[in-house]
Structure formats: C-alpha cells, structure tokens
Amino acid sequence: MTDLPKTPSFELKGKRALITGASRGIGLAAAAALAQAGAEVTLVARSQDGIQQAAEAINSAGGNAHYEKLDVTQLEKVKAFFTNQPAFNILVNNAGTNRPKPLTEVTEDDYDTVLDLNLKSAIFVTQACAKQMIEEKVLGSIIHLSSQLGLVGSSGRSLYCASKWGLEGFSKALALELAPHGIRSNTVCPTYIETPLTKPYFEDKVFLERILKNIKLGRLGQVEDLMGPIVFLASEASALMTGSSTVVDGGWTAE
C-alpha cells in the first residue's frame, strides 16, 4: 500500500501570538483567526477600550485572549512590554496608518506619522520580539501586514508606498538574518479591505469605481479574506516559506 503524505497542521495550540493594532479591522480579524486556530493571543493597541472589547469577544467565543494598551511608536514602552513576559511564537505587525495626498502637499508631519508607525515601529517591535525568540530558542513566524502598494505604486500615496516598500525589503532581509534561528518572516499584501478605517474612502463613488476596475475579481476585500493567509503563515503549513509576499489583491498586481 502506498504511504500517503500528511498535510502539515494549521493548528496553533500551545503557541503565543502578539498582534499590534488589534482593536478593529484587520488586526482584530488576525487575532480572532489565530485564536480560532488555537493560539493564545495578546492584543495591543493605543486605545484600551477597543482591545479590551476585542479580547472579551474572543474569550466569549472560546478563545484565549489578553490585551494591553501599547503605543508601538513609543519604543521604550515597547522594550518594557517584551521584558515582562516570555517570548512569543508569532508576531503580526499590523499597526499602520495612511495620509493620502499629492506629493506637493506632503508635510514633514505627514512623513513622520506614516513612516514612524508603518515602518519604524514595525522594525523595532520586530527587533524586540525576535531578540526574545533567539534568546529563548523559540522557533517562530513573523508576519507583516504590508499591501499591494508595497509591490506597485499609486498616485497620491507616496508616503504609504514608501513605508510598505520599505517593509517588504525589511521582511526579506529579516528572513535571511533569522533563518539560522528557525524564525520566518513573511508579508501579507492585501488590496483595499473594507474596514472602519477605510470605509469613508469608498463613499466616493468615483474612487470606488476606479478601485473596482483594478481588482479583477470585482469586489472590495473583506477582513475574512486575510484570516486564512495569516493562519497559514503562522502555522507549520508554511514551514518552508520565508522572505515571501502573500498577495491577496483580487488580481490587482497581475496586470
């Protein structure tokens, strides 16, 4: 009889996961997905109310969730956060922002706000998390929420593109550096996802029509579209993947 190979497990039981920007939208979906796969999840965000409610909802649904107020742009607080607990197995760098406007109108404050949160914070949260993983010999998966705009350009979004292209390069370099320690680094690159943060943009019918022309599957993304890829990258099912970009864009970048 032929011996059949066994599909690697998507289960995350016994794993600890940290999700930044986890109070709503993609971050909340990531936390819920990892909890549903069996991970113990810790939600962090600037606002305690949102993450507390999110963690309570996950626990009410049978998951195991904790929360802590943390502004990831305050690097000393980031360092302190990691020193007070054991290493995580999974990190989801999700916290981010955008200030879409023409380059001629971009201010230094715009630059600092977008690049500090989208790139600088992601780098130093990862540094603190990876350092603990290495010291405690924890094998792990680091997942960065990038964007299709980390792979292509878009008018009026120079800062956002710069931050996400930077995140893509960082993830690839990190993959090479951390591979000897059994720690993987990958990105998820979504198209426009309908969340509380992005929903106001789609009220502009001209903008929405232009977006949908580029999403070849003809619809906006939903947070549920990212839950499977995040669990996949966190689990043993993606054990040989590092330095890669998982593109969830409805065909936007295929053209």
Let me know if 160 is a catalytic residue: yes
201 or 124: which leads in pLDDT:
124
Tell me, what DSSP letter sits at residue 104?
Answer: G
SS3 18: strand
Closest CA to 37 of 248, 232, 238: 232
pLDDT at 84 over 90: no
Domains along the chain with CATH numbers: 16-247 (3.40.50.720)
Catalytic option among 67, 160, 192, 201: 160
Distance of CA 188 to the CA centre of its chain: 7
* Separation CA 225–CA 199 (nearest Å): 16
Mean pLDDT rounded to a whole number for the chain: 97
- Using the Cα atoms of residue 212, residue 218, residue 223 and residue 229 in order, give the sign of their dihedral: negative
| Cα within 13 Å of Cα(187), Cβ side | 26
Banded pLDDT at 215 (limits 50, 70, 90): very high
Section 164-192 average pLDDT: 98
Token code pair at residue 48: 């305690």
pLDDT at 181 over 90: yes
pLDDT at 196 over 90: no
